[in-house]
Structure 1
């Protein structure tokens, strides 16, 4: 590791890290907001479930680089517009979370749903106050996978010239200099771990009734 180079490039690395966070987290939030109603729809309709889950699975198999290139044609944006990356990763996040949300709602015990109805909860009230809170652990587990996946996929956008940590990889390969590559890998891993930890904390905050594991 060339620490002198890291010192000279510190401001640029922070700039790239900021963009990486923005491009990874924004689709995660947007994807969750879109996946929640779609997952609820799949949960409510057994006819719709296989269609939504099947389409979501197909979307997730589309190569990320191909999607980054095709989206400008659909959105009317330029190839270097970060909006393309946000849109593509939002699609991947939705594709991953639709089934997760549906399965999370399916995991809510029927006795719990019936008890909510007996207490006067109807429709969206039962969904927001009972079913979604009970399904939070399953949804957060899916979010953890999506978060790590987004951090990884954002790096591919460096091939299109979008600034983020992946730019360190291309710079290192072009210069045959390993310090930028190692720095990029370490920062991506650390960022993924931080996002994963934040989701775990949010899960614990939203489910205070769940038992905490005490180390012996």
Structure 2
């Protein structure tokens, strides 16, 4: 039996879906890790990107931060953070994945603010809108396509990368791959393929769903112009 046949057999075994270390448990872990990482990245990246974009300053800083975080492979913080006091498990995984998610969120938040027409801002101020009202009712709605695009990219990247959580016993679908390698490729090759397939399928599903969400949250006028 080759690895592909082993994968089909492994996926068709109900116990591999329902046991305590099965697919459903690992899938929920994977989603929790990814959601926490993206949320943390949003809390960091969006305020900075929106603030700098509104002021029209800091383009160099945005590029620097984005390039710096992209230059650091996820494996590096995953191996460093546990030794720096975070311990093993979920915390270092969430922080490492958040660092990976920051660049697209930061860049698109900044770009979204910069793409708001200055004449629209002037007209809103002329109507007496305060800075907060201008942001909430004018700038953010116009920047939604950019924010949604950044979120979509960040979520897909994090879901696809969260399998590395297995390196620090952080849970997720990567644990299935790690367990397969532990058995040896001759015996566990099908399990390795199954884990990789599940991670890829989850990322592709998220891409499709978020593409639809991005279209829904984009104002109709902007959809027509696009």
TM > 0.5 between the two?
yes
2:201 matches 1:183: no
2:44 matches 1:29: no
What number of residue pairs does the alignment pair up? 211
Match of 2:108 among 100, 110, 120: 100
Q: Deviation string for 1:54-96 (max 9, x for gaps)? A: 023212211211101222344x221x22011111111222233
Aligned equivalent of 2:63: 53
2:17 matches 1:10: yes
CA change 1:153–1:35 in 2 (3 A) is: same
**Ranges in structure 1 where 5+ consecutive residues have no aligned partner:** none
| Contact kept in structure 1, 2:81 and 2:92, CA below 8 Å | yes
- Which shifted more, 127-136 or 155-164? 155-164
- Which shifted more, 125-134 or 41-50? 41-50
TM superposition shift of 1:168: 1.9
Partners of 2:102 and 2:221 in 1: CA distance: 27
| Contact kept in structure 2, 1:96 and 1:142, CA below 8 Å | yes
TM-score, scaled relative to structure 1: 0.86
**Ranges in structure 2 where 5+ consecutive residues have no aligned partner:** none
Aligned equivalent of 2:89: 81
| Contact kept in structure 1, 2:30 and 2:159, CA below 8 Å | yes
